[in-house]
Structure 1
């Protein structure tokens, strides 16, 4: 048995990169071409990035589809100086892959999944399940628990939601999110938007923006109409960014947290 199949030790390199071997079978496809087919992936965490990405042994990557990058995005990934463009079926994706500078990762190639500015590979799979946005973090939990707490939400003093039957979503590294039945939310005070977001733990969310006055960022409200099975309890319920509204739980007004979403909300 390969030691990578059972090892769980995390290694931190002098560059501040943390990595650990993974045991999942990971594949990445561009159109009908399999670019990555790996049974020995490595999960990599870069400094100041909240989610991991994968790097793969060179032997498990179609290196014949990679070209030295014409315009390498130096500085985008921790210390990386070697970038590759990907060419499949005449389509070229710039800076689709790179090599981390750490000696123990030098024989691995990493691929961009999100925040690339365009689609790199069209589909990623862990075993037979398609994974979106970024790899799941094995050290992170997401639990959706029905509750009888009393939760109310205010925007500029207006109560926009009030319930005794929320579902509390606990996600490692983030504040508790309070999902509220639609019947207990004043959705008439909000306007649907075309914005969507994806999460490998929860699925695809749709959004609403506040219709009233005040300093409220857009897309402050969201819902998962078809969540992934692990968080099925939040289906169709409404959640608010704690970072931008006032939430009162069992009579206690919560502080507005500072999170990875604070900057994008303009807080």
Structure 2
């Protein structure tokens, strides 16, 4: 999760009166439900809604199997920036409610959007940009994710107890998020944590596994994570572990860092309650 993207003024992004940002994409995008290709487009459009930090695609009608769409039986209200026209998807022997919709913006007339199954309980199963499968949401072309090996000194404490100390971190810089410090496992007191069955997916990094603090104190669950098989762009973090800066005390080169306030802060507080 990120804050709303800060796009360069000279970019091709345009704004609708409804507050949507949109930009044509040159990527070949396909979406499948089971064995059925529902979307096959070489002219997708990226759309940012005012209340969502990540983009989504909309597609020209001609690039969508509209014969598989039915007017929604129970369309939602107050979802997707004023959208009132929703569709149920009937494909591969299953009906998924409210899997697609249209935005009311004139600029996006003739285009259809789809939910992504891994973000909700509806939508399509698999998405591809060119021949690479992508997950959770489309990747933002205005966002960077860089994983850089470093020799900086990183210490992590929880309730005053030292749980990690290393001079061999990998710093992960991701647009609109605080720097994350990926640490060698041998420099982390993993004996103080228990593995959980929680996992998350990221279109930039891959699938993460989690650990929770075994000790006392008001510490949220799933505070520590790792990517066993990260995507190639961040291969340097493979097998390393990182903490939520929002919930632990990190000292970098002798300077105690402030805990950042991010959308993850609210998620962590909710998990602790």
TM-score, normalising length from structure 2?
Answer: 0.93
C-alpha deviation, 1:48, in angstroms: 2.5
Greater Cα offset, 74-83 or 137-146: 74-83
Separation in structure 1 between the aligned mates of residue 118 and residue 230 of structure 2, nearest angstrom: 22
Unaligned runs of 5+ in 2: 1-9
Which runs of 4 or more aligned residues in structure 1 lie more than 2 Å from their structure 2 counterparts after TM superposition? Answer: 114-117
Considering only aligned residues, what root-mean-square deviation do their CA atoms show, in Å?
1.3
C-alpha deviation, 1:91, in angstroms: 0.6
> Contact 1:181 / 1:237 at 8 angstroms: preserved in 2?
yes
**Counterpart position of 2:129:** 126
**Counterpart position of 2:173:** 170
SS at 1:196 equivalent: strand
Whether 1:246 and 2:240 are equivalent positions in the alignment is no
C-alpha deviation, 1:120, in angstroms: 1.9
Separation in structure 2 between the aligned mates of residue 116 and residue 76 of structure 1, nearest angstrom: 15
C-alpha deviation, 1:259, in angstroms: 1.1
Task: Return the match for 1:230 from 206, 225, 233.
Answer: 233
**Counterpart position of 1:27:** 30
> Contact 1:8 / 1:21 at 8 angstroms: preserved in 2?
no
C-alpha deviation, 1:89, in angstroms: 2.8
Task: Return the match for 2:101 from 95, 98, 101.
Answer: 98
Whether 1:45 and 2:48 are equivalent positions in the alignment is yes
SS at 1:97 equivalent: strand
> Contact 1:114 / 1:134 at 8 angstroms: preserved in 2?
no
Separation in structure 2 between the aligned mates of residue 204 and residue 70 of structure 1, nearest angstrom: 34
Task: Return the match for 2:70 from 67, 70, 73.
Answer: 67
C-alpha deviation, 1:113, in angstroms: 1.3
Unaligned runs of 5+ in 1: 1-6
Superposed CA offset, 1:104-139 (max 9, x none): 112100011157531421110000000011100000
C-alpha deviation, 1:49, in angstroms: 1.1
> Contact 1:223 / 1:238 at 8 angstroms: preserved in 2?
yes
SS at 2:62 equivalent: helix
**Counterpart position of 1:213:** 216
**Counterpart position of 1:148:** 151
Separation in structure 1 between the aligned mates of residue 265 and residue 122 of structure 2, nearest angstrom: 25
**Counterpart position of 1:160:** 163
